[in-house]
Structures are given as C-alpha cells and as structure tokens.
Structure 1
Amino acid sequence: MSAINRRRRSTAAATALVAALTAGGVLLLTACDPNGANGSDGTAGTAAPTATAQPGGAATGKPGASPAPTRTLNGTANSRLTISTGTNKVVMNGTVVDFGTVVRDLSWSPDGRKAAFIDGSGNLVVSNPDGTGKVTVARNPGGQTWSHPAWQVTGEDKVNHVEPHNNIFFAVAQGGETRLKGVSATAVNGVPEVLGLGTEPDVPPLPQTGNAWPNTGGDHGSAVYANASTGSVYIRDDYLRQQGGKIAEGSQPALAPNAEEVVFVRSVAGHDHIFTERLDGSQAKDLTPKATTDYTEPVWSPDGRTLAVRTPEGIATLPADGSKAPVLVSTYAGLPAYRAGS
C-alpha cells in the first residue's frame, strides 16, 4: 500500500481514532548580504571555469592552461542554493559566509529564517542565516557521530486534534549502529529521543537500526530516510499516528516540498543516478539515464521545480522532471541545500 493511500486511510479514520491516540559567528561578506544581490568570494586574480555540458549530462570545468582554477560561486547567486563545505564557510547567494564554527550538513527551516547544522564538536546547533545567534539545541555526549539534521514543522489541526510540531530529526551513529533521533528545535541543550518507526498491521516490521539521512517535507510532518542494511528508502508518516513503510530501493532520499514525490540515489551500471518516484505507487524514473559521473545528495528547490545534486566536480542542478541534463553551477564541494524565503 502506498504512503499516500495509507495517509488517506488514516485521515478518513481520524475521528474514530483520535480519542485513542497518544499523543557566534561573524558575517564576513565580500560584496553582499546573504539575502541580497550578487557578490563574489573576494579572491583576486581568478576566473571561474566554463561549465560545458558533457555527453553524460554532467558539466565539467575547463581551466585552460592556467593552474587549478579557484572555485566558482556563480551558480548560487539569487538561486537560494547554499553549500555547506564542512568548514566554517558556507556558500550562499554568490558569496561566502563565515559562521565562526565548523558547519556540517546544514539545512534550513521551512521559512528560511534559521539554519540547523552539526558543529565542530558534533553538537546540533541552530543559528541565524549569517551564523549569528547560535543556540546549541542538543549537545553531543561523546562517542557519537551526529549527521544530517532535518526540520519537521507543522501547524495545528484542530479538527483532528493534532498538535503543531517544531522538531529537528537527525541520525546518530554509535557503537556500529545508526538510529534516527529527534529534539525540539527550540530546545537548549535538549536531550534527543529515538524516533518511533512503526508500521500498519499489514506492513512488515521496519528496521530500527541502520537508518540515516532523514529528510522532511509537506504540511503534515512526513519524513523519508534510508536504511544501509536493506538498501532501501522508507517514509515516516507522523500526522494522525506514526506509521511508515518502504518506498523504493535507494539511498540519500529527499522529500518534495509537497510531500507527494521523493528523489533518491540508486547505482546503475557503475554510477550513482538520481531517481524520482511519486508516493502514489507509480514507477521510479531515472532522471540521469546517461550519467557518466556520480550524482549524489539530491535536494529540492522550495518550489519543487529544480534539484541540486553533488558531483565529483561540484554542485549541479537539473529540472525535477528530468527534462534537461544536469549543469554544473558551482565548483565548491559540499552538501547542497535550498533556503526558502524572498
């Protein structure tokens, strides 16, 4: 049974069930504010490499006869695309912002007003978009590796007696096992709790360990994640009651803003391809069928029309319907993310 069909069935039964349910960094800008117009990284005497489409749909920088080219930021200008590089520098809007601490796996709140990331000490931190106003939402106790925070934000549903949510999900690796945990996004030194991963009676039990790469979308707190042991992508439906199930074979999933489609990575003929699948049970579609390089870590633009992906050369973008081949937009290496807002 598809995830959407399960949700519809749960919604239809909501009235009968609900009574039984239990419930500081400094901004270093060279030309612009991260919310403003174009800028540059301020490196003198450099030229951005030309992005040239290749037969496999990728784009490769052409530095010419000069030494290795300085990384280009051009594709992030006015695009809401950001790149966390695993350093204190975050690429956004054609410039580089210094968060004053290591930033790993940066993600944005749905309204784009806050950033969540793992800092250099392995803690979960929330900050303003320029790195100021840092709050340690949860402090890593040690011996754990935290990764890939994702925001779960929903409004109140008075009809079905559903409380609003403002949480951050992330993966915790410890002692050879990886689990999904969550904590309130407004907590200070909060204590994360293991996320429940239940199923309906007609769905086999879901794996509780080996889960990673959580990603959220839509208005009802839905999330997707991957399991390393099964090599599959799963959905976690947390609206009327917590339930979930397997979606497809793959990894590194991202849920569309409308929560009706998921994009993920699957290996094909020696390369990582980008696939998409609707949650109504339709067949998965390969968006990069002629790939001659690896495409990984896909993310959706806020309007759901564009995907950004990581390649060995940098960050590329492509239409979410696969109508055009990926095009390299930045030679910075890191995790892409899109920030909503105007």
Structure 2
Amino acid sequence: MRDSSVRNRFGTTAAIALTVSVGAVLLSACGPENGDSAPTAAPTAAPTAAPAGTAPGAAAPGTAAPGAPAASGSAAPGGKEVNGTSAANHLTISTGTKSVALNGTTVDFGTVVRDLAWSPDGRKAAFVSGNGDLMTANPDGTGKVVLAKNPGGETWSHPTWQHATADPSVTAGAEALERYAAVVFTSEKGGTLRLEKVLTKSPGATPQVLTPGTSDGGGDPVPQPPQTGNTWANAGGHRGEIVYANTPANEVYLYDDYIRPVTRDLGRGSQPALSPDGEHVVFVRSVNGHDHLFTRSTQGDQKAEKDLTPAAATDYTQPAWSPDGKTIAVRTPDGVSTLPADGSAAPTQVSTIKGLPSYRP
C-alpha cells in the first residue's frame, strides 16, 4: 500500500486553532493534516459548540476535558502522578479548553489554550487563545501577554519556540542570536498555509513570514523548497533549527539558517518533532490503515528511518520529545501514550486525557 501523510482523524491541518473574522468566530480542529487534499476553510460553529472536527470525546472550549483531574492550581499531594502528568515526568496535555494538565493537576489559564508549547527554559508557555491571538503565559496561567494580535480572517496554530545559543565556532554576538528568540507558528488565510515568526522581545509586533531558503553552498543550484503549504513547525537543537511539514508535498523539511540558509527534505510524513539536541526527527506516516511513528537522523549521513510502531493497531499522532530525548509522548484516540525514543518497546498508555501532549523542560 502506498504510504501517505497522516489521515485526517482529528480535523484539519490547523491544530485546534481559531480563525478570527469580523462578527464571526471560525473554529478549526486539533489534529493531523490530510496530505491527500488541500486544506479547507474552517467551518463556522455556534459559540457553545465544540470545535468542528474535535476528536471524539474531547471537550468543548471552557469545559473540563474527559478524564482530566479536577481543576486546581497546585500539584498533586506528594508530587504523585495523576492521569499521566507529574512534576517528575514533565508531561503536559492541552485539550483546547481553559485548563492544562500538568504537575499532576490542571491549571486554569483563564482563556482557551490551543496547541500549547513550552519555552526552552520551561518558564513560559505559548499558545493560541480563544480569540485566535498568539499568547504567552507563566506555567500557573498568570502573566498572560499577547505576543501577536490576530488581524482577522486568519487561523493561527501550533506555535513553537525557536532558539539558539552561542557557539564558539561561529562568530555570533548577542544581537545576532536575538533573531532566534522567537515563536514560529502556522498561519492559514484563504486556504494558503505559511509559517510566520514573531520575536519574543517584541510583544504586539506584526509577525513576519518565514521563508525557507536553500543555499547552493557554492556548488550547483538547489531547488527552492515550497513557500506555501507549510505547517506544524517544531524547533529543537541549539542553532535555531526547525522541522516542519509541507501538506501538498506530504514531506517533512528541516530549516536551518544559523550560518547560511539551508532547507533539507527529510522524506514523506507529517507532524514532525525535532529532538532536543537537534539530531533526530520523529514524524507521522500512514501505513496499512494506521498512523505510525517514524524517526530518522537529521544529519548529512542520511541514516535510515525507523518505524517505531510497526505493530500499530491504533493511530499514533502529534508526537513530542521529552527534555532528555529518551521518551516520545504521542496522542491516540484513547488519550496519551509514551514509548522509548529508540523504539525498544511498544507505546504504553499513560493518560486518558485526549489532547495535545508536550513536555515542559
């Protein structure tokens, strides 16, 4: 059977994002993109309805997620694990409601939290709010800041924290590194997907389109990667690297412009996540009727990819790396499961909360 990108079980390419327009709120779903068809506009939903395409059993915005512990602002007594999350395992789960599961409890952020992602130091969360804006907040839900205001008519989704650290082998001062202190996210407008970027030091600034480029390295010209259809960015490593998916091509790309612009095609798939050290990428691909997890090296040696879930009897989507790079959390129709990043064991369900897994460093 021909491999294809992850099938559209949880909704459209925008991961539980909001489209803001004059006089109406357009809701799109949380989940994988359908690589076999172009993205479609999000359907209009009544204010009290769950987002169109929301996974079965998921809660409507502002309501408790099925299986989630009671909302609270403090961790579980004694630091115990509750429904898969604890201070020890760093796992967090956002469900498109106001509450985020973390530290063995749920924290009320006071606004709908969609596609939550953590800063490299774990001190801030980035997410798309109930108004469709890009926001940041403290882990306890306080200190909310509108990093970028949705201008209307756009769907924003799946933010990720781009970052870089000083490298003694490269001449890069503090000012040069500041351009990597940014949040990259997907913007959909009129059916066109693009990656956009806003610096974290400039709240309220207008996001800029991120243009994947390819340097010829002094040799033969290299074909430019697609400029539209790009989505699901995920940052990792220490040089501002980002992996992302291109929906029309059903391909995963690695973007790195630390020294010179380089964008490399890593193969067929969707929903990629870059390991904390930037050395490996995990992504989703449909095989024989189920969504499998694959991993491969990001290095030039082009090491063979590996199917981490060869015996999959369910669908594994929306992967996330643990801070130490040893574990991968993944969404399933029944909740959240984890598995060793080397594929040495099958996934084990750790939570019945149906939402997007992420790890807080």
TM-score higher than 0.5: yes
Aligned partner of 1:125 among 118, 135, 141 = 135
Preserved CA contact (<8 Å) 1:32 1:39: no
Preserved CA contact (<8 Å) 2:100 2:106: yes
Structure 2 CA distance for partners of 1:34 and 1:146, relative to 1, 3 Å: farther
Q: Within the alignment, does 1:216 sit opposite 2:226 as a pair?
A: no
AA aligned opposite 1:197: P
Q: For the residues of structure 2 that align with 1:336 and 1:320, how far apart are their CA atoms?
A: 15
Aligned partner of 1:204 among 196, 218, 223 = 223
Residues 131-158 of structure 1: CA distance to partner in whole angstroms, max 9, x if unpaired? 1000000000000000110001112447
Deviation at 1:76, TM superposition (A): 4.3
Aligned partner of 1:265 among 281, 284, 301 = 284
Q: For the residues of structure 2 that align with 1:312 and 1:325, how far apart are their CA atoms?
A: 16
Number of the residue aligned with 1:192: 207
Q: Within the alignment, does 1:32 sit opposite 2:32 as a pair?
A: no
Larger Rg: 1
Number of the residue aligned with 1:283: 304
Q: Please provide the CA RMSD for this pair.
A: 1.8
Preserved CA contact (<8 Å) 2:79 2:86: no
Number of the residue aligned with 1:140: 150
Q: For the residues of structure 2 that align with 1:36 and 1:184, how far apart are their CA atoms?
A: 38
Q: For the residues of structure 2 that align with 1:167 and 1:107, how far apart are their CA atoms?
A: 12
Structure 2 CA distance for partners of 1:329 and 1:118, relative to 1, 3 Å: same
Residues 215-261 of structure 1: CA distance to partner in whole angstroms, max 9, x if unpaired? 00011000000000000000001211222121111000000111010
Q: Within the alignment, does 1:237 sit opposite 2:256 as a pair?
A: yes
Deviation at 1:94, TM superposition (A): 1.3
Q: For the residues of structure 2 that align with 1:74 and 1:308, how far apart are their CA atoms?
A: 11
Map 1:32-71 to 2 at 5 A. 32-33=74-75, 37-38=79-80
Indicate the percent of aligned positions where both proteins have the same amino acid. 54
Q: For the residues of structure 2 that align with 1:85 and 1:227, how far apart are their CA atoms?
A: 25
Preserved CA contact (<8 Å) 1:217 1:257: yes
Number of the residue aligned with 1:330: 351
Moved more, 210-219 or 184-193: 184-193
Residues 147-202 of structure 1: CA distance to partner in whole angstroms, max 9, x if unpaired? 11000111244763322121000000001100001001122211100012111224
Deviation at 1:35, TM superposition (A): 11
Aligned partner of 1:166 among 181, 187, 193 = 181
Preserved CA contact (<8 Å) 1:34 1:97: no
Q: For the residues of structure 2 that align with 1:159 and 1:326, how far apart are their CA atoms?
A: 39
Q: For the residues of structure 1 that align with 2:232 and 2:78, how far apart are their CA atoms?
A: 31
Number of the residue aligned with 1:315: 336
Preserved CA contact (<8 Å) 2:71 2:99: no
Deviation at 1:203, TM superposition (A): 2.5
Moved more, 83-92 or 31-40: 31-40
Deviation at 1:32, TM superposition (A): 3.0
Q: For the residues of structure 1 that align with 2:182 and 2:90, how far apart are their CA atoms?
A: 23
Structure 2 CA distance for partners of 1:198 and 1:36, relative to 1, 3 Å: farther
Q: For the residues of structure 2 that align with 1:169 and 1:33, how far apart are their CA atoms?
A: 30
Structure 2 CA distance for partners of 1:269 and 1:159, relative to 1, 3 Å: closer
Moved more, 289-298 or 31-40: 31-40
Q: For the residues of structure 2 that align with 1:76 and 1:232, how far apart are their CA atoms?
A: 34
Aligned partner of 1:294 among 296, 302, 315 = 315
AA aligned opposite 2:190: G
Residues 22-71 of structure 1: CA distance to partner in whole angstroms, max 9, x if unpaired? xxxxxx9648348982375xxxxxxxxxxxxxxxxxxxxxxxxxxxxxxx
AA aligned opposite 1:215: N
Preserved CA contact (<8 Å) 1:255 1:262: yes
TM-score (norm 2): 0.75
- The count of residues paired between Structure 1 and Structure 2 equals 281
Aligned partner of 1:105 among 104, 109, 115 = 115
Number of the residue aligned with 1:255: 274
Q: Within the alignment, does 1:227 sit opposite 2:246 as a pair?
A: yes
Q: 1:154 is paired with a residue of what secondary structure?
A: coil
AA aligned opposite 2:286: S
AA aligned opposite 1:253: P
Q: For the residues of structure 1 that align with 2:132 and 2:73, how far apart are their CA atoms?
A: 31
Q: For the residues of structure 1 that align with 2:284 and 2:79, how far apart are their CA atoms?
A: 33
Q: For the residues of structure 2 that align with 1:247 and 1:35, how far apart are their CA atoms?
A: 44
Q: For the residues of structure 1 that align with 2:265 and 2:71, how far apart are their CA atoms?
A: 44
Deviation at 1:211, TM superposition (A): 0.3
AA aligned opposite 1:194: V
